[in-house]
C-alpha cells in the first residue's frame, strides 16, 4: 500500500506509458484484463465444469487459470437432484412373502374401456400379475380375488404388502388387519421406496409401446399390448435373478418359447 507503481504525463486526459514499444514480444504488465472462469461460466449459460474446461482449453480463450472449483448459486438452485437411495436390504425366502403393488394411469381409455392397471410384483421371484382397471376403486375387489387365487395355488400367505399411500390402498386397511397382512407404505414424494413397482411400470410401458409401434396399432389398444408385455417379461431371464426368468423361479418349470407368435400376427379361433 502506498507504493508508486508507475508515473507518467497526461496527454489529452490519457496517461501515456513511457518506453512502450508495440512491436516488442515481451509481455507488458497491465496490457490486458483476463476474464475469470466463473464469468465464462455465466457467459456460456452455466455449463458443467468439465464442459467449461474443454471450451476454455480448446479455444484458448482469454481467462485466468482455475485455482479451485467455483460455486455457482444459480446452478445449485436449479440443477440440484435428490441424493441416491441406498441399496435395498430387503430379503424374502418364499413366494408371496412380500408383494409390491402400484396403480398406473393411462393417458387415454383403452378400446375395451380401461383407464388404469394394477400390478402385483412378487419380491422373491419378481413374477408379476397384471390387472387392467376401469376405476381406482376396483383395486380392493381385485386384490381380494388375487389373494384368494395365489393362496390356493401356492399354499403360501401374503405376509407384507408394499404400496404408496393412495386411497385405493388405504381402503384395504380393514382387510389387511383381518388377514394379518402387514401394509407398508412409501412416504410422500418418495416413489423410490416403492421402486420395484415403479421400475416394473417403466418396463411394461416401454415393452407395450414397442409392441404397438411394431404392430402399427393406435395407443387405445394399450390394454392388450401391456398384458402381452407382462406375459413376455415374466418369461425373460433377468440378470438380477442370475439369468433365470420369474416364470422358472415361481413355477419350477421352463417357459415354452416355441409357442410364441409375433404380436399383430393373424390368428383364427
Contact (CB, 8 A) for 103 and 168: yes
Q: What is the DSSP string of 18-48?
A: TT--TT--S--TTS--PBPHHHHHHHTTS--
pLDDT digits (tens, 9 = 90+) for 245-257: 999 999 999 999 9
The CA-CA-CA angle for residues 236, 238, 240, to 5°, reads 160
pTM of this structure: 0.70
Q: Sign of the C-alpha dihedral, residues 192, 197, 200, 201?
A: negative
Q: Would you say residue 156 has pLDDT above 70?
A: yes
pLDDT above 90: residue 186: no
pLDDT at 161 over 60: yes
Average pLDDT on 216-241 reads 93
Angle, helices 195-215 vs 222-233, to 10°: value is 120
Report the residue count for the chain: 269
Mean pLDDT, residues 110-124 taken together: 96
Question: How does the average pLDDT of the chain come out, rounded?
Answer: 84
The mean per-residue pLDDT over the stretch 206-210 comes to 94
Q: Of 7, 67, 16, which Cα lies nearest the Cα of 37?
A: 67
pLDDT in tens, 26-37: 554 544 467 777
Mean pLDDT of 134-144: 96
In terms of DSSP H, where are the helices of the chain? Answer: 37-43, 49-59, 73-78, 139-154, 167-170, 173-178, 195-215, 222-233, 246-251
Amino acid at each position: 500500500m502506498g507504493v508508486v507503481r508507475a508515473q507518467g504525463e497526461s496527454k489529452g486526459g490519457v496517461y501515456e506509458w513511457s518506453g512502450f514499444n508495440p512491436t516488442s514480444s515481451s509481455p507488458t504488465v497491465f496490457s490486458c484484463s483476463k476474464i475469470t472462469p466463473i464469468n465464462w461460466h455465466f457467459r456460456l449459460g452455466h455449463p458443467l465444469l468439465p464442459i467449461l474446461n474443454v471450451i476454455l482449453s480448446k479455444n484458448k480463450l482469454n481467462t485466468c487459470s482455475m485455482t479451485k472449483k467455483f460455486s455457482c448459486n444459480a446452478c445449485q438452485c436449479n440443477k440440484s437432484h435428490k441424493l441416491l437411495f441406498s441399496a435395498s436390504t430387503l430379503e424374502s425366502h418364499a413366494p408371496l412373502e412380500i408383494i409390491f403393488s402400484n396403480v398406473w394411469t393411462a393417458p387415454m381409455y383403452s378400446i375395451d374401456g380401461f383407464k388404469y392397471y394394477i400390478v402385483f410384483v412378487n419380491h422373491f421371484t419378481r413374477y408379476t400379475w397384471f390387472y387392467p382397471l376401469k376405476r381406482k376403486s376396483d383395486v380392493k375387489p381385485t386384490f381380494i380375488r388375487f389373494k384368494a387365487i395365489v393362496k390356493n395355488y401356492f399354499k403360501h400367505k401374503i405376509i407384507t404388502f408394499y404400496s404408496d399411500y393412495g386411497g385405493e390402498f388405504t381402503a384395504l386397511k380393514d382387510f389387511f388387519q383381518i388377514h394379518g397382512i402387514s401394509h407398508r407404505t412409501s412416504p410422500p414424494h418418495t416413489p423410490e421406496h416403492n421402486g420395484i413397482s415403479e421400475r416394473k411400470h417403466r418396463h411394461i410401458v416401454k415393452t407395450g409401446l414397442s409392441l404397438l409401434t411394431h404392430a402399427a396399432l393406435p395407443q387405445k389398444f394399450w390394454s392388450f399390448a401391456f398384458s402381452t408385455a407382462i406375459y413376455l417379461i415374466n418369461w425373460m431371464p433377468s440378470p438380477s435373478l442370475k439369468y433365470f426368468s420369474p416364470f422358472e423361479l415361481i413355477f419350477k418349470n421352463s417357459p415354452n418359447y416355441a409357442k410364441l407368435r409375433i404380436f399383430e400376427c393373424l390368428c383364427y379361433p
